[in-house]
Structure 1
Amino acid sequence: MKDGRLPKRQYTEEFKAEAARLAGSVGSHEAARRLGILVSTVGNWARRQRASVESDGRLPAAVTEVATRRPVSELEAENSRLRRELAEAKQDVEILKKATAYFARGSR
């Protein structure tokens, strides 16, 4: 990285398919910003995915694997679990903020 270039990264086909799907829903620029990769890279992946869908009429294997990997009930259960964990983490942060403020007042 001495010459200012980014190191070459290798992405899985599943990641590329998800990035292309995200680019289709929010746009290439926003998808690239969210994923931290170049806009041209996301655009290339999206273009390849569209071309493969148009050529044979089917979604790429990586996309169908992602879509059919887990049933909705599992995803909903995971979503609710993650929401609980997030609420607990927010509560922990709030407690730490209050404790920091309390001890900072006492040291003056």
Structure 2
Amino acid sequence: MTLQKWMRRADIDEGAKPGQSRTEATEIRELRKRNRLLEHENEVLRRAAAYLSQANLPGKGSTRP
């Protein structure tokens, strides 16, 4: 059974059979991780922008006349 799995994996990696190669799987995993990081950074920036825009409203703690 193990030998069959190795042979099937080798065929996929060589392009002889359809499927996802190891390099593609690794790349997809890394891209998904990067995407999660960027989405988190965007959320932080969105919240910071909302907070700063609230601080600049007149009558909301602003010292400007």
TM-score for the superposition, normalised by structure 2 = 0.57
Runs of 5+ unmatched residues, structure 2: 1-13, 58-65
Alignment of 1:1-108 (within 5 A): 68=15, 72-108=21-57
Larger Rg, first or second structure (1 or 2): 2
Runs in 1 of length 4+ with deviation above 2 angstroms?
none
Runs of 5+ unmatched residues, structure 1: 1-66
Alpha-carbon RMSD: 1.8
TM-score for the superposition, normalised by structure 1 = 0.35
- Paired residues in the alignment total 40
Identity of aligned residues (%): 20
Which protein has the bigger helix share?
Answer: 1
